[in-house]
Amino acid sequence: MKYSGHQLFLLLVAFSFLVLVLPSSAHASTLLVRQGAYVGEGLGYGRSSWPIMTDILNSAFGGSANITTVSNFESATLTDYDAIWVDLGNFSSQPGSSLSANEISKITSFINTGKRVVLVGENDNWTTWDNSILSIVGGNMGVSSSGSISTTYSHQLTQSIATIQPIAGWTATGGTSLFFDAVATLWGTNQNVLVMLDSNAWEDTYIGRDDNRQFAQNVAHWIAPSSPSAGNGGSSQSDNDDALAFSPAEIIGKLQHISPNQAFRIKAQIQRSDAIKMVAVVNGKKYLMYDDGKHKDNAKGDFIYATDPIRLNKSADYTVITYFFNQVTRTKGKIFIK
């Protein structure tokens, strides 16, 4: 078949249009959220108590346009999405307190593809719901959990986290626990399912406690495989660095109630990106926090560094030493062993 000049021109126009409308950037991940409306609360994506967590998820997925919300999974095609998020369902005594068999079947199939899933549960007011989501992964309900719990599993999800603080949460039995209490557990041969049995740690009121916000960010980056901020190496340096007052590292979290041999991290934050090295000195032993080139900036544009897990038997003073190009600063902290 031969084309006339006019037809060729039209083909060229059509081809140019295709090129123009094709996305020029990398494919952004998409998330399907099952919003579980329930009595008297606003805990969940897009809900009244989760504005910060909602922003964190929107940011990780490159904008809210890449996140779809539905009230249930009955008619949704889960495999159209890169990841699945199941918000907290209803109290045990109310309608909507469990997933349907059809939804469980769909979620199970999705998990078997290896894509990532977050399932959110709560304390024993949600026993029916918790058992519903735990049945997907083969887990059971454990016991209540509140207060600071330290990281016990090294993973992308626990990076830069010393402790999180669940608020009247619950633990699961089975799976791989991320923290001292099994409030957050990983499941599946691909460890592609996260069960979080506390929704309050990610609500605005409590997200500032311990490292709850860092955990929220880690979870958002983990569930968004091509998260725009996950690959940020933190190399961008502010043009205003020279104008910042020179200040020593600020130690994050006064870890005053550590149990003997409990794993914890010393974390410190600095405002400048030109630190060369940071170490924490505890009982005369040095713990490396950062060495040139490995720094990672957080969402606020500050820089947070942490040691690997430390375990102590008795209370100790410590010093965080920061080496800059032409200056050394020292900040003191104290760990109390109860």
Binding site for Ca ion (CB under 5 A): 167-169, 198, 200
Query: Nearer Cβ to Ca ion, position 181 or 297?
Result: 181
CA distance 177 to 196: 10
CB of 39 to Ca ion, least distance (A): 15
- The DSSP string of 30-90 is -EEEE----TT---STTSTT-HHHHHHHHHHTTSGGGEEEES-SSS--GGGSSEEEE----
End-to-end Cα spacing for the chain: 86
CA distances from 145 to 44, 45, 64, 172, 311 (A): 20, 23, 32, 10, 22
* 204 and 41 Cβ atoms separated by less than 8 Å: no
Q: Which is nearer to Ca ion, 212 or 307 (CB)?
A: 212
Question: Any idea which residue has 């170490």 for tokens?
Answer: 279
Q: Name the residue nearer to Ca ion (CB basis): 167 or 268.
A: 167
Closest to Ca ion by CB, 200 or 262 = 200
| Distance of closest approach, residue 202 Cβ to Ca ion, in angstroms | 10
Nearer to Ca ion, 167 or 220 (CB): 167
Q: Are strands 67-70 and 31-34 parallel, antiparallel or unpaired?
A: parallel
Q: Nearer Cβ to Ca ion, position 104 or 168?
A: 168
CB of 188: closest distance to Ca ion in angstroms?
24
Pick the closer one to Ca ion by CB: 36 or 169.
169
**Residue 223 CB burial class (10 angstroms; 0-12, 13-18, ≥19):** buried
Q: With CA atoms as reference, report the closest residue to 273 among 251, 304, 252, 250.
A: 304
Q: Which residue is nearest to Ca ion (CB)?
A: 200
- Shortest Å, Cβ 206 to Ca ion: 9
**Distance of alpha carbon 196 from alpha carbon 178, whole angstroms:** 10
Shortest CB 54 distance to Ca ion, Å: 18
Token readout for 57 is: 């998820």
Least Å distance between CB 166 and Ca ion? 6
Nearest-angstrom CA–CA distance, 150 and 135: 26
